[in-house]
């Protein structure tokens, strides 16, 4: 299924909940009150969307949140999605509950996990996440690697907050088969209250402190990857602010309450859950998805006047 700009859209991100067991400073207000379980997509809703998506050539699904591992039916969801013909299924998580659930998830079809991790300093981690325990995340990462899952670390570097964490995060790629990806802070929700570090600055810092393997560079989706000399893992850069990657965007998003998002920073136009709860058929679901995919915008509008700008916090979008 192609959008009106000729991009092949084969990737669907589904948010399972707005709830989270952390309150990261750039993501959620400290006293926020997420939606209750009765307002989110049900397991049956999700399976209906997946079945229609497969027929539109959706090949990859990522389950996000909030914190997706808070869903009690997470293992059933992974199994059911994989059984319906999706080629690859991934989860993005803060990692706090990962160690307890990763083996069951792997056994039911999970292909990989992205862990949000902005520092390896315990006190700094607790400060950024407002109380998170770093050790739990590290154990989850180790278990995931031992299960031979694809593991990616997603890191947001914020001026005057965690710039000192860059080198330690990168060193994880030397002896571990994982990717550390630096994602530029996006001016969405709480993110507007902070100043992110340009990825070109991080690249130049790493080139000076470590040096890159000159024979390796890979562009995959919205990420550009490099490697340190003789490292097992890779270093990725996702740069929506410094270098618009929209021409390679291959995804649409679904919020936990059913809103289809054509673009991360643009409000959704339709809530598919309202139709699913009326028991519409697969062909009708496909028509809704086809229309939303076809009408994806050419590019995001970060930093520009945009009357359709998304004003929600990232946990409510499914970042």
Full pLDDT tens readout for the chain, 319 residues: 899 999 999 999 999 999 999 999 998 877 766 555 458 999 999 999 999 999 999 999 999 999 999 999 999 999 999 999 999 999 999 999 999 999 999 999 999 999 999 999 999 999 999 999 999 999 999 999 999 999 999 999 999 999 999 999 999 999 999 999 999 998 777 888 899 999 999 999 999 999 999 999 998 878 999 999 999 999 999 987 766 667 778 999 999 999 999 887 677 789 999 999 999 999 999 999 999 999 998 876 555 555 555 556 566 666 6
**Hey, what domains does the chain have and what are their CATH numbers?**
11-317 (3.20.20.70)
DSSP 62-84: EEESS-GGG-TTHHHHHHHHHHT
Q: Phi first, then psi: what are they for 216, rounded to 5°?
A: -130, 125
Cis preceding-peptide flag for 236 (omega within 30 of 0)? no
Which tokens in the block code for residue 65? 């949140």
Q: Are 112 and 151 in contact (CB under 8 A)?
A: yes
CA–CA gap between residue 275 and residue 165 (Å, rounded): 45
């Amino acid at each position: 299924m192609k959008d009106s700009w000729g991009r092949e859209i084969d990737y669907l991100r589904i948010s399972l909940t707005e709830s989270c067991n952390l309150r990261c400073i750039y993501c959620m207000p400290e006293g926020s009150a997420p939606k209750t379980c009765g307002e989110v997509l049900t397991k049956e809703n999700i399976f209906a969307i997946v079945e229609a998506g497969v027929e539109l050539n959706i090949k990859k699904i990522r389950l996000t949140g909030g914190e997706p591992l808070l869903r009690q039916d997470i293992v059933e969801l992974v199994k059911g999605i994989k059984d319906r013909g999706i080629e690859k299924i991934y989860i993005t998580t803060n990692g706090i509950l990962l160690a307890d659930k990763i083996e069951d998830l792997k056994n039911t079809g999970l292909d990989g996990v992205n862990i949000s991790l902005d520092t390896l300093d315990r006190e700094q981690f607790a400060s950024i996440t407002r109380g998170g325990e770093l050790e739990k995340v590290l154990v989850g990462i180790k278990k995931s690697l031992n299960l031979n899952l694809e593991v990616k670390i997603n890191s947001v570097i914020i001026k005057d907050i965690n710039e000192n964490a860059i080198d330690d995060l990168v060193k994880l790629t030397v002896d571990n088969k994982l990717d550390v990806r630096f994602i530029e802070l996006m001016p969405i929700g709480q993110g507007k209250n902070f100043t992110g570090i340009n990825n070109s600055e991080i690249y130049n810092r790493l080139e000076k402190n470590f040096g890159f393997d000159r024979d390796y560079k890979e562009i995959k989706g919205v990420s550009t990857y490099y490697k340190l000399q003789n490292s097992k893992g890779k270093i990725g850069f996702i740069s929506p602010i410094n270098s618009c990657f929209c021409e390679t965007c291959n995804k649409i998003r679904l919020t936990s309450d059913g809103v289809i998002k054509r673009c991360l920073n643009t409000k959704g136009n339709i809530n598919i859950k309202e139709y699913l709860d009326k028991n519409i058929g697969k062909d009708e679901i496909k028509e809704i998805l086809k229309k939303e995919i076809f009408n994806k915008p050419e590019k995001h509008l970060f930093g520009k006047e945009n009357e359709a700008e998304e004003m929600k916090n990232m946990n409510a979008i499914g970042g």
